[in-house]
Amino acid sequence: MPLWDDPPMTVGIYSLTTARDAGGGQAFTYTLAQSACPCLINTSSASTSLQFAQQNIRVSMTVSFQASDITATLTRGMKLVASDTGLSLKIEGIRQGRAYDDLDMPALVYADCSELL
């Protein structure tokens, strides 16, 4: 069975809203948009990290989803929280893959993320 048929990890997907706080700054609020979304969490490649380094963004993880498993629309700034470890990740970029019918491989979505400490 291919790994994308039964991903071993899950994440909660949180949407981001911003508002002005009492001091005139930005207040960030994350709201759960989808829970227990199956995925794979991997360390980013050097080329992916280099691509984002040009924008002064440090990308440390890539989270892969089957496009059909995601019900929330992913956008930059959203937060992903790993269900098994509690690892918090901020989405810095999103890439769309293509399905390969000949290989029976579904379309995948890749979220390039930085770790939130």
Domains of the chain: 3-115 (2.40.10.270)
Measured from the Cβ of residue 109, the count of other Cβ atoms closer than 10 Å reads 18
Cα–Cα separations (whole angstroms), residue 24 to 16, 18, 29 = 18, 12, 16
- Model confidence over 20-56: pLDDT tens digits? 888 888 888 999 999 999 999 999 877 777 777 777 8
pTM over 0.85: yes
Q: Give residue 36's region: left, alpha or beta (phi > 0; psi -120 to 50).
A: left
Q: Tokens for 104?
A: 């029976």
Is 2 in a helix, a strand, or coil? coil
